[in-house]
Amino acid sequence: MSISTRTPPVIGGRRRRAGARLFRTRLPTHPMAWWVWALGLAAAASRTTNPLLLLLLVAVAAFVVAARRPMTTWARGFRAYLIFGLVVVALRTVFHIVLGGGYGETVLVWLPEIVLPEWSAGIRIGGAVTAEGLASAVYDGMRLATLLVCVGAAVTLADPRRLLKSLPGALYEAGLVVVVAVSMAPALIESAVRVRRARQLRGTSARGFRAFRSIAMPVLDQALGRAVALAAAMDARGYGRVGSLTVGARRTSAALLLAGLLGLCLAGYGLLDAATPGSVAVPALVVGVAASVIGLVVGSRRMVRSRYRPDRFDLRSALVAVCGLAIAALFVLTEMRGDSVSHPSTFPLVWPQLALLPLVGIAIAALPGIASTPVEPPASETVRGSAENLAVSAITAKGISAR
Amino acid sequence: MSLARTSTASAGQFIAGRDPRPVRIGAKSATALVVATVFGIGAFGWPLLVSRDSGIAHGLDAPLIFGAMLLLVVAVVLALLADGGMDAKAVAMLGVLAAIGAALRPLGAGTAGVEPLFFILILGGRAFGPGFGFVQGATTLFASALLTGGVGPWLPFQMLGAAWIGLGAGLLPAVRGRREVALLCAYAAMACLLYGFVMNLSFWPFGLGPTTSVSFVPGDAVVDNLTRFAAFSFSTSLGWDLGRAITVTILVALTAAPVLRALRRAGRKAAFDPVVTFEPNS
């Protein structure tokens, strides 16, 4: 069903060496592995307010991103997430200074205070700014910023557009809509530029809303015409071939999906209400997730499709994912063992401590920066392929130099 | 070998003057939409519903857990809607409208409150029905997040919020002419304000932290939490939300008639309703 051009098929006696080959071949890390790793890092960040640990987490994310970032324009966005994180910390600090809650006793500055009437539910503006309150606001802001940086690392390392390829068949249509949208948006801007140039050539000089309308409507009409043409092309190429799903399987899939939804709904409200014993929310969550996922997998047989260059989940990818899970587990363990390392006291304000357990976690999380498959420069893609490709690229190179 | 046949009996006939329904909502997807909406109310309104002793009332847990669950819920609803029938024409139309929305998004990112994305979403949902509007909302937000790098824990919430807006636009009563434009304007203003309000509500504890006097207090009286939330909204995002509501309403008022005409013409050209089936020629 799926055809891969990355690895030659394993035949006969060479099969026993498959394990060794998995480590030797240079399969790119699976995007899902990067997401598991980054979400593990995010989970670790959500379990601590220790600023030293949070800074180390950001450093790990930045190190792995710097080492394993693919060479695409998409991958330049990590810096934006770092800046966004700084903005979050700054905003939190400003909010705390202006609308602080009067927590702590080491007063740094007195701001003029505006007293609000009784009904304002204890809201105060201005007043004392304390070291304890400020530290607590900054710690909490840093935790949120670290979380954002972890998501940014996942987005940078694993292009979410590659993840779309691994979507189950039941979500094929929705994924296809996103792919069409992402690839057509630049064409729309180009179309707008073309219409505008045509208007200028005709000497039209309308401004303001009239100009907007005389550009936007032709662009919209063109785009809609393109949609009808695209649909015809997809139909002509056999899109939407309904797979071999029996009526029974379809009903099973729908029933599982609906049961999963109900389970998730029940679990959501169970989690909100502590009066419901934990024994209701957690099983409902497990059943809901399991039923939804199985329903999606069963429903996936609705579609028959082949994948070009499917992403493979090899041992190196598994290692990356395990590193993420390990740091999350070690940080949860640290939180359970005692409060002072995970959540350093801000009242009284003390210097945050470090411990061996979370440091081991940090070291493990940094491992993918060295152990995962290195990223190849994009140019080698054509060179590394088959002999024909090599010949073709040699010929092209010659042609260029001859000219 | 095979013979194309247009069956009009099974999938609803083309009735002149009625809007086409490229994404049909059957009994299964209707149930799924209702359950997802009930879940969404809990996920967005959790700061008002959570009890003091709940394990997720503190820290960053609630938005993350609810975000992950929401992603699964939206995926399940999309799978059920697709199973009900989404042909190449619907996919292509959705893709193009989502592309327009995603291309409009950067125009609004820098300037205060201008969010032109919602206007094409409302008009798309209006022209092609509630099921189409739901899928359009979810996919537009996802595609624009991919294009602008706005992927984050807030994305599942934005997807469901926008999907609701598209769904609601498709469910509005069938009127035509000036009354339709007026109806859409009123809906646009209300939907934009509500969207800003619920997005704010779900991320209020997350964005502000527990250390200020307008912060979320888990399990406090609903009125007290609402007062603090109103103060927070007023001081941060009210200008933004009002600006968005006003610009989207003006855009709808000025462009609803020609854009709807173009969409409906494209819908007629695509002929969504008749279903073509292939049968062996015996």
* Cα B129 to Cα A82, B125, B169, distances in angstroms: 41, 5, 8
Q: Please state the rounded mean pLDDT for residues A325-333.
A: 92
Q: Is the pLDDT of residue A394 over 50?
A: no
For the stretch B182-186, contacts whose Cβ atoms lie closer than 8 Å and that sit 24 or more positions apart, written own/partner, are: B184/B122, B184/B123, B184/B126, B184/B252, B184/B256, B185/B249, B185/B252, B185/B253, B185/B256
Contact yes or no for B56 and A144 at CB 8 A: no
Bridge partners, residue A110, by sequence: A128
Query: Can you list the positions of beta strands (E) in B75-212?
Result: none
Backbone angles phi, psi at A377, to 5 degrees: -65, 145
Test the A interface: residue of B146, B201, B251 with most A CBs within 10 Å: B146
Partners of A295 on chain B (C-beta within 8 Å) are 76, 79
Q: In Å, how far from its chain's centre is CA A103?
A: 36
Above pLDDT 90, what percent of chain A?
18
Q: In Å, how far from its chain's centre is CA A302?
A: 27
Listed range (A19-23, A53-57, A336-340) with the worst mean pLDDT: A19-23
Would you place residue A162 in the very low, low, confident or very high pLDDT band (cuts 50, 70, 90)? confident
Selection from A264, A252, A263, A265 nearest residue A296 by Cα: A252
Partners of B212 on chain A (C-beta within 8 Å) are 95-96, 99-101, 137
CB A263 within 8 A of CB A287: yes
pLDDT, mean over chain A: 79
In sequence order, which residues have a C-beta less than 8 Å from that of residue B29 and are 6 or more positions away? Answer: B77, B80, B81, B83, B84, B131
Q: How far is residue B120's CA from residue A220's CA, in Å, rounded to a whole number?
A: 11
pLDDT of residue A372: 85
**pLDDT tens digit string along A166-177?**
788 788 888 888
Bridge partners, residue B7, by sequence: B275
- Is some CB atom of chain B closer than 8 A to the CB atom of A172? yes
Q: How far is residue A286's CA from residue A288's CA, in Å, rounded to a whole number?
A: 5
Q: In Å, how far from its chain's centre is CA B29?
A: 16
Q: Please state the rounded mean pLDDT for residues B27-35.
A: 91
Would you place residue A164 in the very low, low, confident or very high pLDDT band (cuts 50, 70, 90)? confident
Q: Please state the rounded mean pLDDT for residues A270-279.
A: 68
**pLDDT tens digit string along B204-233?**
887 777 777 777 877 777 788 888 888 888
CB A323 within 8 A of CB A369: no
> How many contacts, defined by CB atoms under 8 Å, are there between A and B?
279
Q: How far is residue B1's CA from residue A154's CA, in Å, rounded to a whole number?
A: 50
Q: 3-class DSSP state for residue B270? A: helix
Q: What is the ipTM of this complex?
A: 0.83
**pLDDT tens digit string along B193-207?**
898 888 888 878 877
**pLDDT tens digit string along B57-101?**
666 677 788 888 999 999 999 988 888 778 888 888 999 999 988
Q: Say which residue the tokens 């059957």 belong to.
A: B26
- Is some CB atom of chain B closer than 8 A to the CB atom of A292? yes
Q: Which residue has the higher pLDDT, B221 or A61?
A: A61
Backbone angles phi, psi at A41, to 5 degrees: -60, -45
Selection from A105, A109, A110, A111 nearest residue A132 by Cα: A105
Which CATH architecture is the domain B24-272 placed in? Answer: Orthogonal Bundle (1.10)
- Is some CB atom of chain B closer than 8 A to the CB atom of A299? yes
Residue type, B258: P
pLDDT of residue A400: 38
Would you place residue B278 in the very low, low, confident or very high pLDDT band (cuts 50, 70, 90)? low
**pLDDT tens digit string along B98-119?**
998 888 776 655 444 457 788 8
- Is some CB atom of chain B closer than 8 A to the CB atom of A297? no
Q: Please state the rounded mean pLDDT for residues B129-157.
A: 87
Q: Please state the rounded mean pLDDT for residues A363-375.
A: 89
Selection from A47, A285, A343, A287 nearest residue B61 by Cα: A47
Q: Is the pLDDT of residue A16 over 80?
A: no
Selection from B9, B27, B159, B160 nearest residue B81 by Cα: B27
Contact yes or no for A274 and B142 at CB 8 A: no
pLDDT of residue A34: 93
pLDDT of residue A73: 67
Q: Is the pLDDT of residue A152 over 70?
A: yes
* Cα A334 to Cα A358, A361, A364, B102, distances in angstroms: 7, 10, 15, 43
Q: Please state the rounded mean pLDDT for residues B21-43.
A: 89
Within chain A, what is the greatest distance between any pair of CA atoms? Answer: 86
Within chain B, what is the greatest distance between any pair of CA atoms? Answer: 78
Query: Per the structure block, which two tokens stand in for A81?
Result: 């997430």
Selection from B104, B101, B103, B129 nearest residue B30 by Cα: B129
pLDDT of residue A396: 41
Contact yes or no for B231 and A120 at CB 8 A: yes
Q: 3-class DSSP state for residue B173? A: coil
Q: Is the pLDDT of residue A57 over 90?
A: yes
Q: Please state the rounded mean pLDDT for residues A356-374.
A: 91
Selection from A311, A304, A356, A308 nearest residue A334 by Cα: A356
